Chains A and B, each alone.
Chain A
Amino acid sequence: MSDQTPQAELIRQSLKKRYRKEKRFRLYGMLAIAVALGSLLILFTDIISKGYTGFIKTTITLEVPLDGELMYLQDPGDSEQLAMADFQAPILAALQQHFPEASSRQDQRELNRLVGSYAANQVRDLLKTQPALLGSTKTLEFLVHDTVSVYVKHADNPAYSIRLSEQQRRWVDQLVAEGAIQTSFNDVLFSRGASREPSNAGILGAIVGSLLTMVVTLVIAFPVGVAAAVYLEEFAPQNRLTDFIEVNINNLAAVPSIIFGLLGLAVFIGLFGMPRSVPVVGGLVLALMTLPTIIISSRAAIKSVPPSIREAAEGIGASRMQVVLHHLVPLAMPGMMTGSIIGMAQALGETAPLLLIGMVAFIVEVPDGFFSSATVLPVQIYLWASSAEQGFIELASAGIMILLAFMITMNALAIWLRKRLERRW
């Protein structure tokens, strides 16, 4: 009886200590989350603040006199004349209507630099398709030069105006005040392939290239990975050979991705003679890279199916195949899909192996098939980020946002699919 009080006291003290410990532990956890969230927030703020202007395009609306004499063009149907004609002249004339004082050669050159270098092509294409317009005056909308674009979009930041002369800045300010230069949503970004001029560059080519590559990766990596996992887990005998295979699969998951690029270069392009820069080869390389991830996660998913289910099926007389196909694979499917989508997301963001198989090439056309030259999102971002023009920097950030949006979509899809599959049970 006498030693009961001290013991209760001891317990109370140890409890106090325990509560303190628990509190500290919780605090560490919250700190860790705060650090993670903070980093994420900084990353997003940086990317979004730099990249949101990538989603804005700057256009200039001009009254263009489509005068034949000005362009040295009599017959728009004649391809030889079309090739020789000067389509920049009417644009210059239209600009000079706004600034009659700019008449010297120097002034003209500076005026010409306000519009994008594809503006003349736009006039040519218009006349080619509608020859009847020759001689009339047409209101046309052109993309401005990217130096003008970044100046307009960052009017309050002098760092973005260094590429323009003082005179050009005055002109642009006046055009903005008159409403001739306007900003709007950048549909060019989503409708075109790469370009050497930032204001004309789009990411559609890279998006389509990424999608085509991902399709190839998924079609190869998922069935092969699941089949390998099922075989290793259910049918393979336990011996040296399977141990060796298992060790190697785990090793492959840790191999730097650029090695897979070298392998793809040597095997698919060198040995099999497949073309360079095409989504099929990119997809094959990424499939090899994703396979270990899919195999490992699929095996874990199969292992996590309770053995009682397997016994139940075997006890009723299901063959090994039936046990696997009717019970194990459906029950393991959510886990397998999670692993696969994580692998695919990894592949979607992969750059290094694709550089080696030529998917880093400058490709203007949007790819139209698995065997046409293409580039992918992360490579496009890499190309833009390493370019000098200020316009490309914001495009790189915009590209990152698009890539992130794709990844979030994929992960959301994974969660949705998992929920849907689980609801059946």
Chain B
Amino acid sequence: MNTTVTAGTAGVSERQTATAPQPAREDTAVREGVTVGMPFADDPKFRLRNVEVFYGVDRAIKNISLDIARNEVIAFIGPSGCGKSTFLRCLNRMNDSIDICRVKGSLQLDDLDLYDPKRDVVELRARVGMVFQKPNPFPKSIYDNVAYGPRIHGLANRKSDLDDIVENSLRKAGLWNEVKDRLDAVATGMSGGQQQRLCIARAIAVSPEVVLMDEPCSALDPIATARVEELIAELSESYTIVIVTHSMQQAARVSHRTAYFHLGHLVEVNQTDKVFTAPEHSLTESYITGRFG
């Protein structure tokens, strides 16, 4: 017993000594509305300016401005509770179902104002698909899962058209060969990795322009994760992808640009290799070197 306690104390003190001599840099403090790096792009897919999100009186997102370019993969990283998921969910208005949530600022997808009071979210979500943290297939057949979106949006008039959409989506999600013989099987009976790829197939079945992914691999094993990451690389050719991730390795592997969030601020946005090799902001550096998070 005694040995364990001593070891623990040693560990703590080690940590403290490691952090103590860090020289306090000028840019340790986050200035609201200021993002270092290159947050803007020419002719962006998403043009987000001065975005603020409130949960009741809490300000969860503090004056963030960001452009998301066409066909890029952008990763949102940051410690828990930094607002990256909240920000992601603004992009297809998934926050709408939370009564106390309010969004301010200008959010535009091409020329479309996302939070226009007259905007129908149904149309928006057909253009901006979403994949969630936990695989959440409907408890229906594999076929019905993929066909659900096209059906409710009226994308296929004939059964054969629908069959084509289902096959194409499953092919793009790299799932076709695994499930082509059992399209009528219940989707919830598949493995976690297969379920998540099915959810991706379901999202791309309505041919969205953007796919939002909220920690899509956090519930998957390493092999399934590798498979999904491969898939993200393939999908980036035809879709704009925004991915929230807890794994910095994953952000480094799949994304073109990386955005670092901290306590509701967008601290730094840069080319992914630059963020991980030469971060401009001290907070980013602390995070990627594992000093907190």
Contacts and interface: CB of A to CB of B under 8 A. Distances in A.
A314 B152 contact: no
B197 to A, nearest CB: 14
B77 interface: no
B126 A312 contact: no
A316 B149 contact: yes
B149 A317 contact: yes
A184 interface: no
A314 B132 contact: no
B269 interface: no
A425 B134 contact: no
A317 B203 contact: no
Interface stretch (B21-29, B79-87, B92-100): B92-100
Interface stretch (B46-54, B109-117, B136-144, B171-179): B136-144
B278 interface: no
A238 interface: yes
Contact of B136 (A238, A311, A319, A326): A311
A425 B140 CA distance: 6
Between B121, B136, B199, the greatest number of chain A beta carbons within 10 A of the residue's beta carbon is seen for: B136
Given A331-B139, A425-B188, A315 B94 contact: yes
B125 interface: yes
A318 B121 CA distance: 9
B152 A322 contact: yes
Interface in B100-123: 121-123
Interface residues of B, number: 30
Contact of B125 (A238, A306, A310, A315): A315
Interface in A131-182: none
Contacts of B136: 306, 308-309, 311-312
Given A238-B99, A308-B132, A317 B139 contact: no
A314 B92 CA distance: 10
A47 interface: no
Contact of A425 (B94, B148, B186, B202): B186
Contacts of A317: 121-126, 149, 152-153, 206
A318 B99 CA distance: 19
Contact of B206 (A308, A311, A316, A327): A316
Interface string A299-331: 000000010111111111111001000110001
B148 A316 contact: yes
Contacts of A316: 125, 129-130, 148-149, 152, 202-203, 206
Contacts of B129: 315-316
Contacts of A331: 139
Contact of B139 (A310, A311, A322, A425): A425
A318 B132 CA distance: 16
Contacts of A425: 139-140, 186, 188
B181 to A, nearest CB: 21
B138 A315 contact: no
A309 B122 CA distance: 17
B99 A314 contact: no
Nearest to B202: A316
B4 to A, nearest CB: 13
Contacts of A306: 136
A326 B122 CA distance: 15
Of A238, A314, A316, A318, which is in contact with the most chain B CB atoms at under 10 Å from its CB? A316
A310 B206 CA distance: 18
B153 A311 contact: no
Interface string A389-419: 0000000000000000000000000000000
Contact of B138 (A313, A319, A322): A313
Given A317-B126, A425-B139, A312 B153 contact: no
A317 B124 CA distance: 8
Interface in A272-316: 306, 308-316
Nearest to B153: A317
B122 A311 contact: no
B203 A311 contact: no
B46 to A, nearest CB: 17
Interface in B39-94: 92, 94
A146 to B, nearest CB: 59
A312 B138 contact: yes
A315 B132 contact: yes
A88 to B, nearest CB: 71
A279 to B, nearest CB: 39
Nearest to B92: A315
Contacts of B202: 312, 316
A314 B97 contact: yes
A383 B206 CA distance: 65
A5 to B, nearest CB: 13
Interface centre among A306, A317, A327, A425 (most CB of B within 10 A): A317
A317 B150 CA distance: 10
A310 B97 CA distance: 10
A309 B99 contact: no
A425 B187 CA distance: 9
Which of A311, A312, A315, A331 has the most chain B CB within a 10 Å cutoff?
A315
Interface in B176-205: 186, 188, 199, 202-203
A308 B94 CA distance: 12
29 contacts: A306-B136, A308-B132, A308-B134, A308-B136, A309-B138, A311-B130, A311-B136, A312-B137, A312-B202, A313-B148, A314-B97, A315-B94, A315-B125, A315-B131, A315-B132, A316-B129, A316-B130, A316-B148, A316-B152, A316-B203, A317-B121, A317-B126, A318-B122, A318-B148, A318-B152, A319-B122, A322-B152, A327-B138, A425-B188
**Which 4 pairs between the two chains have the least Cβ-Cβ distance?**
A317-B125, A315-B130, A308-B136, A425-B139
Given A238-B99, A317-B206, 8 more contacts: A311-B94, A312-B138, A313-B138, A314-B94, A315-B92, A315-B130, A317-B124, A318-B148
Interface of A: 238, 306, 308-319, 322, 326-327, 331, 425
